[in-house]
Amino acid sequence: MTRLRPTVRPRTAGRLDVYLDRRHDRDDTEVDALGHYAAVLETVLVATLSARRATTLAGQHQHALDSRILVDRAIGFLMGRADLDAATAFTLLRRSARSQRRRLADVCPRGARRPRPATPIPVVNVSS
């Protein structure tokens, strides 16, 4: 049996055990080939872990963006309903979230949660 340990810096990421069904003493070229195979496995592991990290990060960014859009809508909603400026509306939302120990996006008014239907833009016919 030959045992190699592929590493993804800075730690071991797995183990590659190579078996034969009969006794066999490996020569240097076989051991060298297995070392190269382990290097290929390391590259695949690094790429897989990087892709997983990127997917997780993209999901976190999307969640943050969605929350930001909701908070911005809520600020606009409060500005329109209560005749507040943006800073005051944000302060009101933040104070409400803190007093309830909830996230800012979770205390947004219901009216801000649903996008309003698009209002058709009137077509103006300009004739020369």
CATH class of 2-113: mainly alpha
- 48-65: burial string, b at 16+ Cβ within 10 Å, e else: eeeeeeeeeeeeeeeeee
**Spatial distance between the Cα atoms of 2 and 31, rounded to a whole number of angstroms:** 8
Residue 85: the pLDDT is 94
Of 18-22, 32-36, 40-44, 114-118, the one with minimum mean pLDDT is 114-118
What is the tally of helices (H) and strands (E) in the chain?
3, 4
**Is the overall model pTM greater than 0.85, yes or no?**
no
Residue 102: the pLDDT is 92
pLDDT digit string, tens, across residues 36-53: 988 888 888 888 888 999
- Identify the band that residue 29 occupies on the pLDDT scale cut at 50, 70 and 90: very high
pLDDT of 12 over the 70 cut? no
Average pLDDT over residues 64-81: 90
Average pLDDT over residues 60-81: 90
Paired strand residues for 52: none
pLDDT above 90 covers what percent of the chain? 30
Structure tokens at 84: 């507040």
State the chain's mean pLDDT as an integer. Answer: 82
